[in-house]
Amino acid sequence: METIVDEQTSGSEQSDLLAQENINKLSSAEQGKLWATYVGNTMSVCVLNYMLKHVEDQEIKSILENALHLSEEFVQTIHKIFVQEKFPVPVGFTNEDVDLTAPRLFEDEFYLHYLKYVAKAGISLYGIAVPLVTRADIRQFFTYSMDQTVNLINQVTTALLKKGFLTKPPYIPYPETVDFVDKNSYHNGFFGRVRPLQALEITHLYDNVENNATSKAVLIGFSQVAKSNQSKAYFRRGLEIATSHYEAFSGIMQEAGLTAPSIIDQLVTTSTTAPFSDRLMLFHKLDMYAVRIRAYGNALSMCTRHDVAAKYITFFAEVGNYTEDGSNLLIKNGWLEQPPQAVDRKALASNRH
Buried b (16+ CB within 10 A) or exposed e, 226-258: beeeebbebbeebbebbbebbebbbebbeebeb
pLDDT on residue 6: 43
Q: Which of 21-35, 175-189, 241-255 shows the highest mean pLDDT? A: 241-255
* Run of H or E including 254: helix 229-255
Is the pLDDT score of 18 beyond 50?
A: no
Would you place residue 346 in the very low, low, confident or very high pLDDT band (cuts 50, 70, 90)? confident
d(CA 179, CA 184): 15
d(CA 34, CA 125): 10
Q: How far is CA 352 from the centre of its chain?
A: 43
Domain range 27-162, CATH architecture = Up-down Bundle (1.20)
What CATH class is the domain 186-332? Answer: mainly alpha
d(CA 68, CA 73): 8
Give me the amino acid identity at 112. Answer: L
Residue 276 · residue 288 · CB < 8 Å:
no
Would you place residue 195 in the very low, low, confident or very high pLDDT band (cuts 50, 70, 90)? confident
Q: Quick: pLDDT tens for 106-128.
A: 999 999 999 999 999 999 999 99
Is the pLDDT score of 34 beyond 60?
A: yes
CA distances from 114 to 88, 218, 234, 302 (A): 31, 8, 20, 26
Mean pLDDT throughout 15-23?
Answer: 50
Q: Which of 148, 151, 150 is nearest to 74 (CA)?
A: 148
Mean pLDDT throughout 226-240?
Answer: 97
- Average pLDDT across the chain, whole number: 90
Q: Quick: pLDDT tens for 241-256.
A: 999 999 999 999 999 9
pLDDT on residue 12: 52
CATH 1.20.1260.10 region(s) of the chain? 27-162, 186-332
Could you write out the DSSP letters of every residue in 84-104? HTTPPPP----GGGB-TTSPP
Give me the amino acid identity at 104. Answer: R
pLDDT on residue 23: 63
pLDDT on residue 186: 65
